Structure 1
Amino acid sequence: MNEFTKSVYKFSKFDKVKNIFFLAIPAIIENISHVFIGVVDIYFVSKLGTEAIAGVGITNLTMNVYIAFFMAFGIGTTALVSRHIGANEKEKASYVLRQILLMNLFIGIIIGFTNLIFSKKILLFLGADAKTLESAIPYFLAVSVPSIFLSMNIILSSALRGAGNTKTPMNIALIANLTNAILDYILIFGILNFNGFGILGAGLATTLSRVISMIFLFQKITNKKSEFYISILESWKLDFISAKAILKLSLPAAVERLIMRSGQVVYGSMIIKIGTEAYAAHNIAGTIESFSYLPGMGFGVAAATLVGQSLGKEEKENAQNIGLISYFLATIFMVIIGIIFYIYAPELAKLFTKDDFIINQVVKVLRIIALFQPFLAITLVITSALQGAGDTKFPMYSSLIGIWGIRVLGVYILCVKLEYGLPAVWAVYAMDIVVRGIILMVRYLYGDWKNVEIK
């Protein structure tokens, strides 16, 4: 019986599996809601034309780089809060969250001003042509300048998850989704005597839904009946010693996300050069693919939370078992989704476009995606488990190898030099996922991540 089988066997007690599902299912539903926000935006924006789809896509490339920093602090928040909650140190968890919110506020403001001042230059750098630029700028400004609301959502939700509450972020995400859908229709196309704002309306709808969800999250986190809470009356002065400790944990996660997102920007700009139709197909396929991430992300949340809490209780073996069984459960769901992608690829593509060339490209990509779901599950769940334990450096190294050593270089050779087209882009993507998945699993099974100290 190998190490993985032993861990699954030892951890197969119903109550522990139930705890994983208790955290994972609301997280999956929350992630579905976030995905639907993007799907709804793409659906409505697609009615405005191919250039509008490309405009949203190129904006999202840039936003993903900025989100890397927000997500890094979210990872740090989950790791620190879960460890302190596991050790029954709620006051420390509250103090750490206040420090992270202050740091995040500062970063969010800087990013917002950067986007406001350099919006056109950023989009031109990414390879936007005149038509794409015309569509991209209004959406970019509406979404990226007030990105502080997105960052606050990420931190507050991460804190609640770290405390073991995944239901509240789920409920608030559902509210935000419904709000975004309603506002999308009204602000893009108009209603009654109001003519709507076109693509600008899509950006405004997204931002307004984030403002509303942030208000609900902040209300929950300041409620004394919550799992733990922060008081607005307590000191909000930045503690540089605590800030240094938080950065030590979060910075590798930020670099890991930056490596990933900047790599996506680079090879995304290469795809733009293939042609607008290929890039539109790439974005449609990516939107559909995001559904396959949902189980991995949900069980990754459960793994990060329970691994952190188990280590806080000094239960190291249990911490390792949690990560492995979470991966096993996520893989079952993701393989099923992969099968659906493979069989129903044409029907899924036709939901977003009637262009035969784009449909053909999307179908080829979806069938490539279907084949590497077990390895994708590793990159999602095991990475989260390691980060929940405070081991944020190793995922950073694996991303550097996979994104830049395999994906960017591979796309440059196969698509720019040899001109093999969009399916080759995703074949390289699959190779990256497989290599990183193997590296991460070896680390998890035999690494010393269980001994990482968090203060």
Structure 2
Amino acid sequence: MSLDKKKLSLYALTWPIFIEIFLHMLMGNADTLMLSQYSDNSVAAVGVSNQVLSLIIVMFGFVATGTSILVSQNLGANKLETAREVAFVSLSANLVFGFLLSILIFIFNDQILNLMDIPQELHGEASSYLTIVGGFSFIQALIMTAGSTLRSYEFTKDAMYITIGMNILNIIGNYLFIFGPFGIPVLGVEGVSISTVASRTIGLIAITFVLMKRIPGIFSFKKRFPVQHIKDLLRIGIPSAGEHLSYNGSQMAITYFIAIMGTEALTTKVYAQNLMMFIFLFALAISQGTQIMIGHMVGRRDFQGAYERCIKSLKISIIISLGMAVLFALFSGQLLKIFTSNEEIIYLGSILIWLTIILEPGRSFNLVVISSLRAAGDVKFPVYIGILSMWGVSVLLSYLLGIVFGLGLIGIWISFIADEWLRGLIMLRRWKSRIWMNKNFIGKAESN
């Protein structure tokens, strides 16, 4: 299946991706919102556990990212059989990798939380959530890979519908286990964990059937397993995941600094970042749609079209992100009151949302331009710059401003702003240099 150039548009690709990501975020926020009616400590415990799980998801993401790039470029080059083989190999690889990581999380969850040095009153609930959700995280690995495959084939609506179903099931499960209607036992964090795993399991079953319908022969057994595709996935996916891995690792280090400030600071961070996710949601959806388009353009060697697509997407993303940040800042107090009645959390959280007006346009550069560079095969440069900036700017300034100079969460948000803008401007300069034109995977494969 080769995507028709006239048929393929940013809007057609992006709106289902937008709704899918929105619903993924809603699932996490449903946990937070419902738990906030149960206990602020439970919110903080789940927030810390999700910080760890985000790092694990990035580990799965290196295969999913490689899948998206390779499948898109091969479809653009009209190499249909190769695209199907890549999808099959990706699912197989993430299944094995997912099982291994799930087992490690299940066995060492207490040791992981001890490294985070979280307050003792949060440890029990955090451990429960991490054990259950982390122990079944291989399910998320498969859903991510299957979703990347469907989006690369332009079946973005299918992934969206499955996510809608998963969210509905998750919210129902949360309601049953948190509020205990009909005599059902109130399980709190443990109940949220069970609900999350159950909804994902049903989602995996559904997306598997969709893959078999949309891509006939994807699970066909071959006598010779195409090992070369594993090498290609690693070659593209590992550097791509490196940038995400560095970001999540730096966020864990910063969460450690915030844990020193106390449970209230941790809770404020969770609430503020939950709102921020909805602000950069548009930029995230635009970046994923742009990545698919540029992957196809590079596959058919339309480099000028790819260059212009990135710049147009970036402009759209900056304008929307800025507008959303201003809107959320104006209503930050009311939005935070949805989660908590603690006036100190609401006051500090509102300041953080106002700072987001400066932060989010910078984040748009990174989301859109880095996705474009990856789609073109330029995967290593963003990692090198990312590691230097995230740790040399974000983590270092978080410690200096937040801890040493006593600015707390405000100092940490300032460090986020400095990191996003520095990396973003460097990435834009890289894109404008057009070095990426010589790094696309299809071109290299054909020259080898």
Q: TM-score, normalised by structure 2?
A: 0.95
Alignment of 1:20-419 (within 5 A): 20-223=10-213, 226=214, 228-235=215-222, 238-419=225-406
* CA deviation profile, 1:254-312 (whole Å, cap 9, x unmatched): 22221111111111111011111011000100000000121111111111111010111
Seen in structure 2, the aligned counterparts of structure 1 residues 371 and 229 have a Cα distance that, compared at 3 Å, is farther
* CA deviation profile, 1:151-188 (whole Å, cap 9, x unmatched): 11111111111122211111111111111111111122
* CA deviation profile, 1:123-173 (whole Å, cap 9, x unmatched): 111012221001111111111110011111111111111122211111111
* SS of structure 1 residue aligned to 2:182: coil
* CA deviation profile, 1:52-95 (whole Å, cap 9, x unmatched): 11110110111111111122222111100100111111111110
Amino acid at match of 2:122: T
Mean Cα displacement is larger for which, 25-34 or 193-202?
193-202
Distance in 1, matches of 2:400 and 2:202, equals: 45
**Where in structure 1 do 4 or more consecutive aligned residues deviate above 4 Å?**
15-18
* SS of structure 2 residue aligned to 1:197: coil
1:237 offset after TM fit, Å? Answer: 6.1
Distance in 2, matches of 1:334 and 1:243, equals: 37
Specify the alignment match of 1:10 in structure 2: none
* SS of structure 2 residue aligned to 1:351: helix
* SS of structure 1 residue aligned to 2:280: helix
Distance in 1, matches of 2:260 and 2:398, equals: 12
* CA deviation profile, 1:167-222 (whole Å, cap 9, x unmatched): 11111111111111111111223221221321111111111111122111111111
Distance in 2, matches of 1:198 and 1:365, equals: 28
| Paired-residue identity, % | 26
Contact 2:63–2:94 (CA under 8 A) maintained in structure 1: yes
Distance in 2, matches of 1:85 and 1:16, equals: 15
Alignment of 1:444-455 (within 5 A): 444-454=431-441, 455=445
Amino acid at match of 1:49: S
Distance in 2, matches of 1:106 and 1:297, equals: 28
1:450 offset after TM fit, Å? Answer: 2.0
Aligned length: 438
* CA deviation profile, 1:213-243 (whole Å, cap 9, x unmatched): 21111111111xx2x3443332286443321
Amino acid at match of 1:51: N
Amino acid at match of 2:11: F
Distance in 1, matches of 2:435 and 2:355, equals: 34
Contact 2:87–2:218 (CA under 8 A) maintained in structure 1: no
Amino acid at match of 1:81: V
Specify the alignment match of 1:3 in structure 2: none
Distance in 2, matches of 1:150 and 1:396, equals: 24
Specify the alignment match of 1:434 in structure 2: 421
Specify the alignment match of 1:6 in structure 2: none
Amino acid at match of 2:329: Y
Distance in 1, matches of 2:95 and 2:217, equals: 16
Distance in 2, matches of 1:200 and 1:111, equals: 21
Contact 1:69–1:258 (CA under 8 A) maintained in structure 2: yes
Contact 2:298–2:440 (CA under 8 A) maintained in structure 1: no
Distance in 2, matches of 1:360 and 1:18, equals: 45
* SS of structure 1 residue aligned to 2:167: helix
Contact 1:119–1:141 (CA under 8 A) maintained in structure 2: yes
Distance in 2, matches of 1:252 and 1:213, equals: 29
Contact 1:102–1:236 (CA under 8 A) maintained in structure 2: no
Amino acid at match of 1:154: M
Seen in structure 2, the aligned counterparts of structure 1 residues 192 and 91 have a Cα distance that, compared at 3 Å, is same
Aligned-pair Cα RMSD in Å: 1.6
Amino acid at match of 1:261: N
Contact 2:359–2:416 (CA under 8 A) maintained in structure 1: no
Seen in structure 2, the aligned counterparts of structure 1 residues 16 and 297 have a Cα distance that, compared at 3 Å, is farther
Contact 1:77–1:158 (CA under 8 A) maintained in structure 2: yes
Mean Cα displacement is larger for which, 49-58 or 238-247?
238-247
* Unaligned stretches of 5+ residues in structure 2: none
Amino acid at match of 1:330: S
Distance in 2, matches of 1:279 and 1:356, equals: 15
Amino acid at match of 1:27: I
* SS of structure 2 residue aligned to 1:192: helix
Distance in 1, matches of 2:283 and 2:63, equals: 20
Amino acid at match of 1:147: S
Distance in 2, matches of 1:51 and 1:196, equals: 16
* Unaligned stretches of 5+ residues in structure 1: 1-14
Distance in 1, matches of 2:128 and 2:291, equals: 37
Contact 1:163–1:305 (CA under 8 A) maintained in structure 2: no
Q: TM-score, normalised by structure 1?
A: 0.93
